[in-house]
Structure 1
Amino acid sequence: MEAYFTLDTHRQEEGKEIFAITLNRKHPVYKGHFPDVPVTPGVVLTDICRQLAEHALDKKLQLKEAKTIKFLAMVNPEMTPALDVEMMLSAENERYAARIVGSFEGKTYFKIQADFAGEL
C-alpha cells in the first residue's frame, strides 16, 4: 500500500524528536474521506505518529494505550500539505510514552499522549 506521507527531515533537539513530513494527497484514504474535501482521518494521523516513533526508536511498535488524543483542526492535504511533528519519548519497562504535537505554519492540528510497545 502507498505511504500516507514522506519523511522530509528528522532531527533531535532538546530531548525531542522533530519531524517534517509531506502528506501523500493521492493516497486512497482521501477518496473515501472525503472525495471533494479530503480530510486526514484521526486514525491515520495516529498511525503516522506510530510510524514516526518507529523511525526514531528504530523498532517496530504497536499502540498500547491512547491516553489523550485531541484533534484541534481538520488536516486537509490540499490546504495543509505538510506537518511538523514534535515528539517526546521516554522508555519504561519496554513501553514508550509519547507526547506528540502536530502543527503546520504555527497552527496546532493535534496533540497525542500515548504508550507504544515493541510489536509481539
Structure 2
Amino acid sequence: MLIPNLYTIKNTEKIDENNFKVQIELNPNHQVFEGHFPNNPITPGVCMMQIIKEITEGFVLKDLFLSKVSNVKFMATINPFINPILDLSLNVVCENNEVKVKNSSFFETTNALKFSAIYKVLD
C-alpha cells in the first residue's frame, strides 16, 4: 500500500471472470486529509486512482504501472467524514502484458468517479 492506512477493504465480490465489486472504507483521520483541504477534507483524485490500482493488483496478482488513462471524470467530491464508505465496480481485462480497467466509484447512490486506464504488467 503506497499510502498506508488510507483505506480498508470491507468486502470483495467476484461477479464473473472480469467483473468485481469492492467496498472500501476511507480513514477520515488520515493525515492526507489535513492538507487536502484543512477544515474541508476531500479525497484527492490521485489517491482514488492509486486505490483502484492497488485493488486491481490484488485481483491480477501482479505489480502494475499506470500506462494510459483514457477517461477520468470526478463527478462528486468525496468527503471522508460524510461518506467514508465507497463501492467500486471494476471491469478488469488482462491482454498480453497489459491490464485494462474500467471503474465506477460510488458513495450511496452518487457516482463519484468514472475511470478507465491501461496498466503495464511489471516483471
Q: TM-score, normalised by structure 1?
A: 0.94
2:12 — aligned with what?
10
Alpha-carbon distance, 1:119 to partner: 2.6
Give SS of 1:78's match: coil
Mapped contact 1:2–1:27 kept (Cα < 8 A): no
**Superposition pairs for residues 84-103 of structure 1, below 5 Å?**
84-103=87-106
Pairs aligned (count): 120
Q: TM-score, normalised by structure 2?
A: 0.92
Answer with 72-81 or 52-61: which moved more: 52-61
Q: Which runs of 5+ in 1 are unaligned?
A: none
**Superposition pairs for residues 50-61 of structure 1, below 5 Å?**
50-61=53-64
Distance, in Å, in 1 between the alignment partners of 2:50 and 2:22 is 15
AA of the residue aligned to 1:10 = T
Pick aligned residue for 1:66 from 63, 66, 69: 69
Mapped contact 1:4–1:48 kept (Cα < 8 A): no
Of all paired residues, the percent bearing the same amino acid is 28
Mapped contact 1:17–1:86 kept (Cα < 8 A): yes
Q: Which runs of 5+ in 2 are unaligned?
A: none
The root-mean-square deviation of aligned C-alpha atoms, in Å, is 1.2
Mapped contact 1:72–1:109 kept (Cα < 8 A): yes
1:43 — aligned with what?
46
